[in-house]
A = this chain, B = another copy of it.
Amino acid sequence: MATERKIDRVKQLLTEYLDQKELRKTPERFAILEEIYQKEGHFDADALYIAMRNRNFRVSKATIYNTLEVLLDCQLIKRHQFGENLALYEKSYGFKQHDHLICADCNKIMEFCDPRVHIIQQMIEGFYNFKITDHSLNFYGKCMNKGCQEKDNVR
């Protein structure tokens, strides 16, 4: 799906969600959603805040955090804690659940998907009678970059 059409689709999904929850359809919420769906990769709350200003759409940090919460709740974005204390977000509509490879040296984040994660999930679910709704799998190490593999810093 082209980026344009995807943006229309997620705006529609947000509209439906806000209607259903009887929340208000403010311009801020749609502008933030639009910004997020034009971004690639992971971003933090502050980067989003700066990006909105650069676009000449001024929103407060409070609104950024409030909106991220709304978008998380309707599953249009995902939040990750890759370590450290900085939450990173990414758009999630039209992306299949994926996992991450994180380089301890250059901090590059790569994505992969392995169907066996789901198999493990199902087995665990049955064994512990746990209703699993989500997962995160991160591998930490050194990426293919020669410079990274040579240094001996760790996570």
Q: A23 interface residue, CB < 8 Å from B?
A: no
Interface size on A, residues (CB 8 A): 43
Contact B128 A144 (CB under 8 A): yes
A123 touching B114, Cβ below 8 Å? yes
**Per-position 1/0 for A42-81, Cβ under 8 A of B:** 0000000000000000000000000000000100000101
CB distance from A117 to the nearest CB of B (A): 7
Q: Mark A81-125, 1 if CB is under 8 A from B, else 0.
A: 111110100000000000001011000001010101101110111
Taking the complex as formed, is A134 at the interface, i.e. its CB lies under 8 A from any CB of chain B? yes
CB of A129 within 8 Å of the partner chain: yes
Q: Determine whether the beta carbon of B135 is less than 8 Å from that of A137.
A: yes
CA distance A136 to B141 in the complex (A): 12
A residues with CB within 8 A of B? 73, 79, 81-85, 87, 101, 103-104, 110, 112, 114, 116-117, 119-121, 123-125, 127-144, 149, 154-155
